[in-house]
Every structure is written in C-alpha cells, then in structure tokens.
Structure 1
Amino acid sequence: MADFSLSSLPDLPLDLWVGGTARPAAEGGRFDVLDPATGDVIASVADGGVDDAMACVDAAEAAAESWAATAPRERAEILRRAFELMTARSDEIAHLISLENGKALPDARGETAYAAEFFRWYAEEAVRASGSVMTAPSGANRIVVLQQPVGIAVLVTPWNFPAAMATRKIGPALAAGCTVILKPASDTPLTALLMAQILADAGVPEGVVSVLPSRSSGKVVSAMLHDPRVRKLSFTGSTEVGRVLLREAADQVVNCSMELGGNAPFLVFDDADLDAAIEGAMVAKMRNAGEACTAANRFYVHADVAEQFSSRLAERMSSMTVGPGTDDATQVGPLVNEESAAKVDELVQGAVGAGARVVTGGSRPDRQGFYFEPTVLVDVPLGAEILGEEIFGPVAPVITFTDEDEAIRMANDTEYGLVSYVYTGDLARGLRVSERLDSGMVGLNRGLVSDPAAPFGGTKQSGIGREGGHEGMLDYLESKYVAVTW
C-alpha cells in the first residue's frame, strides 16, 4: 500500500462511536491528529466532552443486561470474527498505525498481528469462565461460586500501541460479558475508531462498545468514574496518571486494573551468548523505537564483556534506517510528538553532562518531524536521571557490574517492576536471578515477553492486576458465592 492515505479506509469513523453509530460531539468540537513524521494534520476527529461520556455510559447500560446474558459461545464467535476481520485487514491497520503513531511498518505489522491475537485468545477463553461447587467443611451446606461480569468498564489506552492496548482490554471484557467505553489517547484515536467499526462488522451489538476520543481526558474519565453505573477501570499509561485515576476511582470504589510505567533492566552476564544478547537487546530496546513500557531502559553488562557488547550494539543501532514509519525501508520511525522527542533529548544531554560518553547517536537529526537518533551511551553514572526515568525512545545507557548481587541490587533499585531481561549461559543462574528480580515478568535469554496467552503486568508502581492469559479475563469477573442446602 505505497499510496496509503485515509481515503483508503472509507469506513473509518471520524466521529465518536456511541451506541453502534458514529456521531459528532455534543458541543461540536473537533481536534487534529498529526503525522509524527512531518507534523502535518492527517485528520480531524470529534472531541468528546462530559455529556458525550454520559451518553456512552447510557449506551453501555442499555446493552449491559442482554450482553451479559448472551451465551458464552455466541460472544466467542463474535470475537473470533473480529480476529478474522483484523487479519484480513492487517495491512490497512498497520499503515494506519504507522501514519498516526509514527512507528516503522515492520513494528506496526507486528502490533497488528499481536492485537488480533487477543481477540482469538479471548474467543477461546469466553467459554471458560468456570465457577465451582463444594461442600462446606462443616457439612451444613454447599458452597456454589459463580463468575459474573463486573459491569460497565472504562478502558483508557495509550498512544504507543493503539491497536494492541485496545484489543488487550476489549477482548477479555467482552468475553466476560462486560460492556465497555474505550477512551483512546488523543495522539492516536484513528486506530481505536477503526477497531469500533471492525467490532460492529463482527457482530458486536449496539452499545456494547463505545469509543470516546477526547482532548479533555481527565474530565471525561473522572465523570465516568463518578457515575455509579461504572464498575471497572482498566488503564494503561504512566504511573503518574495512574495514581490520579486510583484516587478518582476510590470515590465510588471502582474495580481497577493498572498497567503503568516501566524501567526495565537488561542484565548481560560474562557467560552470556553475546550474539543472542545483541539480538535480544535490539528487540527489547528498538521495538517501536523504544516507545514501549517493556523497552529495555538500563543495560547492566558485566565488565568483562561490556566493551564488546556496547560496540556491537552501537554498530547495529547506527546501521538502522531512520525515516517516516509508512516508508517500507524505515526501521526507526519518529517519536509520537514534539514533547516526547524533547524529553528524550533532555535525558541524553543530562547524562552526557553528568559524564556519560556517546558511542553512537546522541541528538535529534536535522530534519522535519519528531525524530531522535538511535543512541548508545557508556560510562553512565549511577545517579544520572536517565536511569531513573522511563526513556521512551531509542536510547541504550550501558552500566557495568562485576558481581551478581551488585547487578540485582542495581536492577531492583527503582520504583518500577514491570519486566526484566537476563542473558546468561548458566540456566541455574538465570532462574536464580529471575526469582530475585522484583518485576512481574522476566525475559530469560529472550528480548520479547509479550504474549496474549501469558499474564502481563508488574509489581511495585508498575501496576495492579494482569492482562492476557486466563488471568486477564478474571479482572472483568466477580465471584458470587451462593450458600445453599440440598
């Protein structure tokens, strides 16, 4: 699709999606969506407000009882059709992601396939919301446990994976029997709106899924969280915003799932296969140009192999083609907006000012768009801000260690605990270190951990709950205990 444009998607809604149809915002507002490669406007979408948020809740409430009563097999078949439609339209979806997000097409194609898999996985899980029956220990009665949908769910998703973060929430919610309101990031609303159309085409009934683009995220989400009909919040985004939403949710004691920030350590021991470690580093660091909560953020490399690892990583990263995400030759696209590019630049310059040395990259290229060069830094001092912040860009700071305990201590020295990566030739060491790392996920001799069939989530301030796997659907179910004698 060399000539891809929005005209290639005549069914793409550019208004709010409420009650199964596209409609303008109540106050008529709209906002522009920009191409990160140029800064140019690519579309204008409806800007939802509080009245629109309440309309979404009304639609979700009207559909809730019948959707919860829909047979699990029927819900499963709808999700399966959504998977098939996404797969059939995968090239269109990938190009749309690249256009509004900036990520390189190979990454966008990978995201599209990953996103579709959540619909397939939860099509299979929809029929497995099993309860239990047992005799009470006293023998006085039976204990019957039912699994029922938690209720209307507000889903708030980020810009870095506009398809996958939507399907990772919508899939289990629909499988469990919940109706949902998706609030996508205002940088990337187009992919979410296309998901709404695809779900409608798959047979999702009116009102079961609403999509609410809005520049007033705080106001509209707060309004929904303070409506007693809303019983679930699932949020993916920064820890800072997550704290605010948890406080908001407390007023109505809303059930919350939080997938928050990360600061992933990437440990390379002296006995590691360096070829495998470099390949894993390229995946863990450069997938989506580093704009991922799972991105390797801090590289702790044994002193005996640090120079070789750093030079080889720099060689690989410096050879990557930087350009517009929609160009088939591009390997590293622009960052999503000016603010993101400026933040990465600030972190790199701060590290250099503190004594770090640039091996490759280190600055913004002189070109239109929100780009940053693939960068490797060495001799990074432990107090540098870049080691405490989520970089969200194509920058790899390298720190050396000489002792296993030292490496684990440095890796765990963060408020975050989403994912860690470990490379070693000693399986016993790998498992031992994996157990000691304080994170919800570990990639052991692997640079990629995400899988729809696996529970995704973190410890500490990286979140609450899990997405994916059977656990992901449990976050949208409540256990009801019935005491009965027969």
Structure 2
Amino acid sequence: MRFPTAIRVSLSPLYTRTHLASLKPHLYPSVYARMASSQAAVFGLQDPSLIKFQSLIDGKWVDAKSGEKIVVTNPATNDELGTVPEMGLEETKEAIEAAARAFPAWSRTTAKERHDLLMKFFQLMKQHHEDLSRLITLENGKTLTEAKGENSYSASFLEWFAEEAVRTYGEHIPSAFPGTRNVVIKQPIGVVSILTPWNFPSAMITRKLGAALAAGCTAVIKPPPETPFSALALAELSIRAGIPPGVINLVTTQKNVATVGREMCESKVVKKVTFTGSTPVAKILAGLAATTLKKVSLEAGGNAPFIVFDDANIDEAIEAAIVCKFRGSGQTCVCANRIYVQSGVYAEFASRLAERVAAFKVGDGLDDETTHGPLIHTRAVEKVELHVSDAVSKGAQVLVGGKSIPNTSFFIPTVLSDVPHNALINTEETFGPLAALTKFETEEEVIRLANDSDVGLAGYFFSRDVGRVWRVAERLEVGMVGANTGLISQAAIPFGGVKESGLGREGGHGISDYMNEKLITFGGLGN
C-alpha cells in the first residue's frame, strides 16, 4: 500500500508559522503576503492566490482579534496544510453587521443582475476546476476523481440558482371583495446564517449560498474547521466575480464553535439559519433559532436503507451499492447504511460485493491508484471500529476488511454478512466504508425494517417488478428515493428528509426558503 509523501516547502526562520501568527498584516502587508504565498505553495495549486489564511468580513481578509489559529491537516498524511483564524463572538457579530449593512443594496439589485453575477461565479469555479478539486482532496481526503465530481456538483448550484433568480414569480389571487385586487410578491428574507459540514466542503456551501444570493439575501458562513480552505477559495472567487463587500462573510472557528453558532442562530439581525450536519446538532440549532422564530432549513442525519429484491438486476444493484455505500469512503449523508438483501439472491450479492470491495485500494486521494481515501479523522475511524465489533459480537461475519490501519485515519473498506437487526449499525449512521448485509424474506418484512428508524433522508431499492417499484417507493418513509439507482443528488431536485432528518428542502425550488411572500391588497379600484 502506497502513501505518497505530501508536498512540503522549506521556510526560512523569518517565515515560520509562529512568526506569521504574531505579525499584524495591516502593519507588515508585504512580509505577510510573502509568507502567505510561501505557505500556499504547500497546496501545489496553479493559482496559489486561491489559498487564504484569513477569514472574510465586509470584503476584507482579516485575522482573529485574539491572534489565535486553527491548524488544518491533510487526513491522508497528517501533514499540516496551514492555519486559519480562530474567531469568536466579536468577529461573528461584525460579520452579521456587515451582512446587514450590505443587505439593502444587494436586495434591491435586479434578478437579472444577480443572475449575471452568479454566472460569473459559476464560470470561475469551472475555470479553476483543477485547483478547487485538488484543494478538496487535500483537506477532505476524498480521491481526486471524487473531488472533481464535487466541484462540478458544487458549481452546478450556482448555475441552477442563477436561473432560478429570474423566475421568482409572484401571483395574482382573485379577491372576495369588489373593487380590490390581491397581488403576492416575493422578497428576500434578509441576513442568512450558513453552517456547513466537512464531507462536502464546497457543495454544501454553494447549495445554500447560491439560493441565498439568488434570492437577494446576504450571508454569514461558518465552514467546518476540518475543511475551511475550500470555503475561503469560494469567497475569493466571489470577490473576483464582482459580489459586493459584505454580501458574503466567512467566520472560521473550532474551539469557539458553540459561541459562534449560538450568535448565528439567536441574533435578531439574522432572519434565516440553514445547516447541514448531525441530527443532535440540528436540534440544538433549531432550538436556538426558535428564540426569535426565524426560518430554518435543516438537513440532518440519515440511515439509508438499500434493498435488493430477488427480481433485481444484480449487476446494476452491485454497481449502485459500490457507488452509494462507498462514495467518499462512506462519508455521505445519503449513502446506504443498512443493506437488506432478499434470501433468493443473498449469497450471490454478498460474494460479488465482497469480491469488488476486496479490490479497492486505499491511500492518498492524490495518488492515481487510490480508489478510496481516509476518513476525516481518527474519531471517525473509532466509530466504524465500534460498529464492526458490535455487529461481530452479535453474530455478523466479516467477508472483507474489518480493520483500520494503525496510527492513520484509514479504515479498510468492509463487508459484513448476517448482520442482526439489533446491531448498532442498524440504529446509528456509521459514516464510514462499512457495508452491513442483512437477509430478509418478504416485502412486508423489509418495509417494516427500513422504516424502523427515527430518521428518513434517503432510501434505495432494486426490483424489476413495476408494481413493486411504485409500492415500495411510496411506502418508504424518506424524503428521497432511488429506485433502481444509487445516485440521486442533483442541483435540480428537492434535497431533504422526513422525520428527524430535518426540515425544508434545498436545491430544486429551494430559493423559496430564502424569500418571504408578501400580500398586497389594492382597494378603490371600482367594480
């Protein structure tokens, strides 16, 4: 197994990270710029100016007032990539205030003007495709192929919502009263707080930000501390696209996340909160946002069932399971978590899946031979280990994998058979490269098992029986169903779940969640 050595640069004592953190950029701009450029060389980008070591508030690149830094590492090598500011309550308030100041002018721009700026932003993302993709791999760990897929997916939200901006139609409603007319218009809701996860460091931002900007809202973004550089690169491209100062603000934090998150949710200036992450955190943020009854969009945890019926096309089901379960090394919210296979095809499916998974090559995502990268950190590895050991202790068999690589964030892609219904993996989202197979006999039985969950984000099944396809699709208690496919994510679809998987929908017509409907009733118009 090969793990390429990370790119390193040799810095003189003047340019050590300790010295960089102690400098005041506004007092030593040229020295600071040279040091930042030297650090950016670690990333190996064609355009190193995409790498920012400061956050963005009111159009200015700034450090934390405390001078504290967050160290960001490459999960494949554990090498340090760079640092970003450890911001707190004061900087968060400044970012919100900047967004509020920018809102009146931005909200009055025409839909066509916003469309044009978003399309410039989109084109810049396409222009810098290679760099943005490499950046995702370096800080997230996913393979470069998957990172390129994410960047294209991420950019597609800007394109989609640019087109939605000019289609935010109102309506005329016939009046019950003579001489009056009812007109409904749509207006941007105001300042939006955007809180995103590390598993899609670019796409989870643009899915929210694209809608917010298209609607005429301004935003404060809190990216995850594990993957801030993708967010900062997007902020840089937004400036190049011509997005005005204060419309997009970005606050980086790690140890102050509770304080920053609370302000982003409770501030009376903020009119909407949008979050992607775990269900427990979603509940906390929903409670904080409720203090001012602001609008929320919450895309929380999943526990997706993946069902293979006896009449399925097994070739297609295997391919879909590979993509759906192991994309991003299993670190996606819509990946298959519980794989139910009907008894008639169980043995064939299990053996063929295990054979395919055994051929995977884990390693640094920048290596062309790598098929699957690391998990984001060792805590993620520990959760997969727990789920494997729990299932095995209850009778499951390891067909392939089942172990981590010591002292790394890598877990060998794993297939378990004979996983009992009471295993932890059937009640918790693993978020790792673990395929857990459970045998079932009847359609009624598997529907009951699939729906036996507090969450309901996505679900998948394979069958060539047309009647069954409709029955199962309608009966699965999830927000999104993949029938004979393992891929559902697109900019044009309404993305979201039911039960404890969240509130609202993103993508599709999600721009509506960033706008208020206003009724205007005109009187004195005669009969």
Q: What range is the shorter-chain TM-score in?
A: over 0.9
Alignment of 1:252 onto 2:281: no
Tell me what 1:207 maps to: 246
Output one character per residue of 1:87-144: Cα deviation in whole Å (capped at 9) or x when no partner.
1111111111111011111111110110000001011111011111122134452111
Task: Please state how far the C-alpha of 1:328 moved relative to its aligned partner.
Answer: 2.0
Match of 2:374 among 329, 334, 356: 334
Moved more, 47-56 or 8-17: 8-17
Q: Distance in 1 between matches of 2:199 and 2:213?
A: 23
The code of the aligned residue for 1:5 comes to V
Q: Distance in 2 between matches of 1:274 and 1:263?
A: 22
Alignment of 1:277 onto 2:317: yes
Tell me what 1:189 maps to: 228
Task: Please state how far the C-alpha of 1:333 moved relative to its aligned partner.
Answer: 0.2
Q: Distance in 2 between matches of 1:224 and 1:230?
A: 7
Tell me what 2:436 maps to: 397
How many aligned positions are there?
Answer: 483
Alignment of 1:380 onto 2:433: no
Match of 1:5 among 11, 25, 42: 42
Alignment of 1:64 onto 2:103: yes
Tell me what 1:89 maps to: 128
Alignment of 1:161 onto 2:200: yes
Tell me what 1:42 maps to: 81
Instruction: Show the 5 A alignment for 1:236-247.
Output: 236-247=276-287
Q: Distance in 2 between matches of 1:328 and 1:69?
A: 48
Output one character per residue of 1:379-403: Cα deviation in whole Å (capped at 9) or x when no partner.
1111011111101001000011111
Output one character per residue of 1:295-316: Cα deviation in whole Å (capped at 9) or x when no partner.
1000011001011101111111
CA contact under 8 A between 1:105 and 1:330: conserved in structure 2? no
Q: Distance in 2 between matches of 1:357 and 1:309?
A: 15
Task: Please state how far the C-alpha of 1:57 moved relative to its aligned partner.
Answer: 0.6
Match of 2:53 among 7, 10, 14: 14
2:328 aligned counterpart, secondary structure: helix
Q: Distance in 2 between matches of 1:161 and 1:17?
A: 20
Tell me what 2:340 maps to: 300
The code of the aligned residue for 1:151 comes to G
Q: Distance in 2 between matches of 1:276 and 1:5?
A: 41
The code of the aligned residue for 1:309 comes to F
Tell me what 1:227 maps to: 267
The code of the aligned residue for 1:183 comes to K
Match of 2:517 among 476, 479, 483: 479
Tell me what 2:474 maps to: 435
Task: Please state how far the C-alpha of 1:340 moved relative to its aligned partner.
Answer: 0.6
Q: Distance in 2 between matches of 1:263 and 1:122?
A: 29
Q: Distance in 2 between matches of 1:139 and 1:132?
A: 19
CA contact under 8 A between 1:145 and 1:482: conserved in structure 2? yes
Q: Distance in 2 between matches of 1:343 and 1:408?
A: 27
CA contact under 8 A between 2:43 and 2:138: conserved in structure 1? no
Task: Please state how far the C-alpha of 1:318 moved relative to its aligned partner.
Answer: 1.1
The code of the aligned residue for 1:483 comes to T
Alignment of 1:55 onto 2:97: no
Q: Distance in 1 between matches of 2:212 and 2:131?
A: 25
CA contact under 8 A between 2:340 and 2:440: conserved in structure 1? yes
Q: Distance in 1 between matches of 2:398 and 2:267?
A: 51
Q: Distance in 1 between matches of 2:405 and 2:508?
A: 41
Q: Distance in 1 between matches of 2:453 and 2:50?
A: 45
Output one character per residue of 1:8-62: Cα deviation in whole Å (capped at 9) or x when no partner.
3223211111111211112211110011112221111111110000110111011
What is the aligned-residue identity percentage? Answer: 43
Tell me what 1:422 maps to: 461
Tell me what 1:130 maps to: 169
Tell me what 1:347 maps to: 387
The code of the aligned residue for 1:385 comes to L
Task: Please state how far the C-alpha of 1:225 moved relative to its aligned partner.
Answer: 2.1
Output one character per residue of 1:327-370: Cα deviation in whole Å (capped at 9) or x when no partner.
1221110000111111111111111111110000001024x520
The code of the aligned residue for 1:150 comes to I
Output one character per residue of 1:436-476: Cα deviation in whole Å (capped at 9) or x when no partner.
00000000101000010000000000010000012x10110
Q: Distance in 2 between matches of 1:167 and 1:210?
A: 14
The code of the aligned residue for 1:331 comes to T
Tell me what 1:319 maps to: 359
Tell me what 1:365 maps to: 405
Match of 2:495 among 443, 456, 464: 456
Q: Distance in 2 between matches of 1:351 and 1:218?
A: 34
Moved more, 72-81 or 215-224: 215-224
> What runs of 5+ residues in structure 2 fail to find an aligned partner?
1-5, 8-40
Aligned-residue Cα RMSD (Å) equals: 1.2
Task: Please state how far the C-alpha of 1:226 moved relative to its aligned partner.
Answer: 2.2
Q: Distance in 2 between matches of 1:149 and 1:6?
A: 38
CA contact under 8 A between 2:456 and 2:499: conserved in structure 1? yes
Task: Please state how far the C-alpha of 1:7 moved relative to its aligned partner.
Answer: 5.1
The code of the aligned residue for 1:458 comes to G
Q: Distance in 2 between matches of 1:330 and 1:19?
A: 41
1:467 aligned counterpart, secondary structure: coil
The code of the aligned residue for 1:254 comes to K
Alignment of 1:287 onto 2:337: no
Output one character per residue of 1:391-419: Cα deviation in whole Å (capped at 9) or x when no partner.
10010000111110111000000001000
2:112 aligned counterpart, secondary structure: helix
2:447 aligned counterpart, secondary structure: helix
CA contact under 8 A between 1:280 and 1:448: conserved in structure 2? yes
Match of 1:98 among 115, 137, 145: 137
The code of the aligned residue for 2:463 comes to T
Task: Please state how far the C-alpha of 1:326 moved relative to its aligned partner.
Answer: 1.8
Alignment of 1:356 onto 2:393: no
Label 1:337 to 1:99 Cα distance change in 2 as closer, same or farther (>3 A). same
Alignment of 1:109 onto 2:148: yes
1:304 aligned counterpart, secondary structure: helix
Q: Distance in 1 between matches of 2:479 and 2:435?
A: 22
The code of the aligned residue for 1:6 comes to F
- Give the TM-score normalised by the residue count of structure 2: 0.90
CA contact under 8 A between 1:321 and 1:330: conserved in structure 2? yes
Output one character per residue of 1:139-173: Cα deviation in whole Å (capped at 9) or x when no partner.
45211111001110000000000000000000000
Task: Please state how far the C-alpha of 1:292 moved relative to its aligned partner.
Answer: 0.3
Moved more, 36-45 or 264-273: 36-45
Q: Distance in 1 between matches of 2:132 and 2:368?
A: 15
